[in-house]
Structure 1
Amino acid sequence: MCCLVSAPLMANDHSYTTTSVTDDALPTFYPQLKQQLTYTDSWLSGRYAHFGEWRQHARQVVRSLLLTPDSHRAFEPQVVDSQDRDSYVAQKVAFNLTDESRVPGLLLTPKTPGPHPAVLLLHDHGAKFDIGKEKMIRPWGDDTRLASANAWADRYFTGRFVGDELAKRGYVVLAVDALGWGDRGPLKYEQQQALASNFFNLGRSLAGTLAYEDMRSLDFLASLRSVDPKRVGVVGFSMGAYRAWQLAALSDKVAATAAISWIGTYDGLMVPGNNVLRGQSSFYMLHPGLPARLDFPDVASIAAPRPMLFFNGGKDTLFPQQAVQAAYDRMHQVWQSQHADERLETQIWPELGHVFYQEQQEAVFQWLDRWLTSPPGSTTR
């Protein structure tokens, strides 16, 4: 039985309560909540004896939390426009991404005989919604969009379009707008939370929709006659990096993954001042209930022992080095447990920030060539 105790207080004295909200919109008891995140479904929890069984279980955990059913509609692609680019052809294609959405994508195909290795490029967030796929592949036929894309390439990619560089090396390349960007937008920054809320009210999830649409984009790319379905990689920058390792966790069709500038632990990122606390953009990467079961690197590790590469900048203020290194260490433990640590490459570039510059691109291209252009069983793999 509880007894009420009389203790007169001044009107502005709130010492009788211990719960409020910080300036970063965290509950004041967030340290206690963080301590409760033990990641019980992690391979590193020690609860699982067989790696294959763990992978299947962990993948199902993530897949169920997408809150998105499978789509069964045929892709039914059509070419909307095309442009000759010397050694390859650029096409704007439309296809059925899901049962609900038909979308445009940019597709680059080498002129040499196929089937070719292929790369699905996943664009960043950047709070820049007028372009999406055009951040990765040079657009045409729209001077305003081209100018915007060129400026973005100058800022983050040393003036280059990653997709076009890959096509020159013999890869089929596909880039598709995430919901809210380019031809599927433009969304306004301050609308993101309302969009996410509306998805929840419709029984779905914004982050889950993004993840599942990436799965379908991968399936579409792998289905093309010009593509060798056993040699399909995924490359992403910033939010696209998150999407890349998430996609590798969800689908075995990904043969190799390069994730640039998005990895860390929940513990290292859920700190006052960090960008993930702002809401808005974070809803594209928020699966309710998942942090109670798997850390970010645990999700990425579902892809083990397949080849993965992670690059981060030492001067990237969005992803503190301590959080990044903790994630790297956690993933290396998983690949080491499968005697495959040589398949996991991680590197912090000390002089770089939140970018995917030419020197990083060249390192990624060489790494992709190793895993996607060498014949299966080759000693170079």
Structure 2
Amino acid sequence: MGVRSKLLAGIVAMSAIGGVMAANLDFQKTGVGKDNLPVMAAQIKSRLTFPLAWNAQVKDLAAWRKTGVAKLWDLTAQAPDKTAFDAQVLDEVDRGSYVARKIVFNLTADSRVMGLLLVPKGKGPFPAAVMYHDHGSKFDIGKEKWIEPWGDDAQLSSAKGWAKRFFTERFPGDELAKRGYVVFATDALGWGDRAGMTYEAQQALAANFINMGSSLAGLMALEDARAAEFLASLPEVNKKQVAAVGFSMGAFRAWQAAALSDAVTASVAVNWMATTDGLMVSGNNQLRGGSAWQMTHPGMQRYLDYPDVASLAAPKPMLVFAGEKDTLFPLDSVNAAFGKMGKVWGAWKAADKFETKVWPGGHVFLQEQQEFAYDWLDRQFGVKR
């Protein structure tokens, strides 16, 4: 009997013993399933225990927070940056109770960028807000989604269209400046004056960052922390009253900046909060890949879930909105995240500093919501009207 015949005979013989070998002959014939998830997604997710998340056994909250923040910074793959901002004013327009300025400054050691700054008239220092723009698959404007631009008719038209779609035809940054806040916004990489992004190219851009030992999401985290620190450094600003405000992807940026930077003393996050498990469901935008890259720190879920990261901001005041009909963020997952976060503020004996509200609409930041948020900010900062 030849070698091949002996092998086949052995396989047949073992297959007959309790069917054990027959079962072992089965193998994976499909590796990628629906929504581009690996077929072993459930097994992988079941191993996510988020060991750095707060739990009831945590006794030293400050040490827990320090460990979590250090791990998050490590996951961003960014080096510490203390570059002088070296800001210069390019242009200024009078808007009645406040002035609007175009400025250039060193956002990082690698990038000198333009920002829009609104400064109330009168004697400061004033409360302030750094405003982080959304994604929206719309890249021609970034900071202009928050603050009304000038000097470019096409840009203004685009910004007004965005305001009509999401913000009740208002520029939320200008509305906050009318209340006496210094307001600042700049572009994330690929938006507005830092143009060059397309929806299709996002994954390639993210891969190129990884190939350079860096991270697209990590760069955004660093730049957002630096933007908050720049705002807090201005003489017109009360350093104890610096809010991070964001809508959609900007909401993610706001609570992340509140966690990472001591310059942020309060935050308002509109329509971006849920659990990893709740977002990784069939049909969810998070599974499409493209617009998820700005919010994907490689390996983060081995340590922390999204609400765990936001909870590193405790006990600073935080207001988080959600939309009852927001298809991007399933309400059960939103409420699970809110519940998890609330326990952390409670552990800090600061339950009154954490507030959530689910609005009846969808993925928007309408006038009523803006006024609610700004009134809340006034209360946190002790601003009297």
TM-score, scaled to structure 1:
0.93
The aligned amino acid for 2:69 is R
Are residues 1:105 and 2:151 paired? Answer: no
Aligned alpha-carbon RMSD (Å): 1.7
The aligned residue for residue 31 of structure 2 is 20
The aligned residue for residue 369 of structure 1 is 378
Q: 1:5 to 1:190 in 2, by over 3 A?
A: farther
Note the alpha carbon deviations across 1:235-275, whole angstroms, 9 max, x for none.
00000000000001101221110000000000100111111
Aligned ranges 1:131-280 → 2 under 5 Å: 131-280=141-290
Indicate conservation of the 8 Å contact 1:19/1:29, yes or no: no
SS in 2 for 1:211: helix
Are residues 1:359 and 2:368 paired? Answer: yes
Given candidates 289, 293, 300, the residue that maps to 1:283 is: 293
* Pairs aligned (count): 366
Indicate conservation of the 8 Å contact 1:233/1:372, yes or no: no
Distance 1:222 1:340 in 2: 24
Given candidates 70, 83, 96, the residue that maps to 2:80 is: 70
Q: Which has the larger radius of gyration?
A: 2
Note the alpha carbon deviations across 1:4-30, whole angstroms, 9 max, x for none.
8468xxxxxx96326511121101111
Deviation at 1:292, TM superposition (A): 1.1
Aligned ranges 1:14-53 → 2 under 5 Å: 16-17=27-28, 20-44=31-55, 46=56, 48-53=58-63
Note the alpha carbon deviations across 1:5-61, whole angstroms, 9 max, x for none.
468xxxxxx9632651112110111111111111101112x4532111100000101
Indicate conservation of the 8 Å contact 1:90/1:107, yes or no: yes
Given candidates 293, 301, 304, the residue that maps to 1:294 is: 304
The aligned residue for residue 57 of structure 1 is 67
Given candidates 307, 332, 340, the residue that maps to 1:330 is: 340
Indicate conservation of the 8 Å contact 1:255/1:306, yes or no: yes
Q: 1:5 to 1:225 in 2, by over 3 A?
A: farther
Distance 1:105 1:321 in 2: 35
Q: 1:62 to 1:5 in 2, by over 3 A?
A: farther
Deviation at 1:232, TM superposition (A): 0.5
Indicate conservation of the 8 Å contact 1:234/1:254, yes or no: yes
Deviation at 1:82, TM superposition (A): 1.1
The aligned amino acid for 1:157 is F
Deviation at 1:297, TM superposition (A): 0.4
Indicate conservation of the 8 Å contact 1:59/1:250, yes or no: yes
SS in 2 for 1:363: helix
Note the alpha carbon deviations across 1:171-212, whole angstroms, 9 max, x for none.
000000000000001411101001000001111000000000
The aligned residue for residue 3 of structure 2 is none
Identity level (%): 54
Distance 2:28 2:322 in 1: 42
The aligned amino acid for 2:187 is D
* Structure 1: runs of 5+ lacking an equivalent: 8-13
The aligned residue for residue 11 of structure 1 is none
The aligned amino acid for 2:44 is L
Distance 1:342 1:262 in 2: 21
Poorly superposed stretches of 4+, deviation over 3 Å? 3-7
Distance 1:297 1:325 in 2: 11
Deviation at 1:85, TM superposition (A): 0.3
SS in 2 for 1:108: strand
Q: Which moved more, 1:223-232 or 1:128-137?
A: 223-232
Indicate conservation of the 8 Å contact 1:130/1:181, yes or no: yes
The aligned residue for residue 10 of structure 1 is none
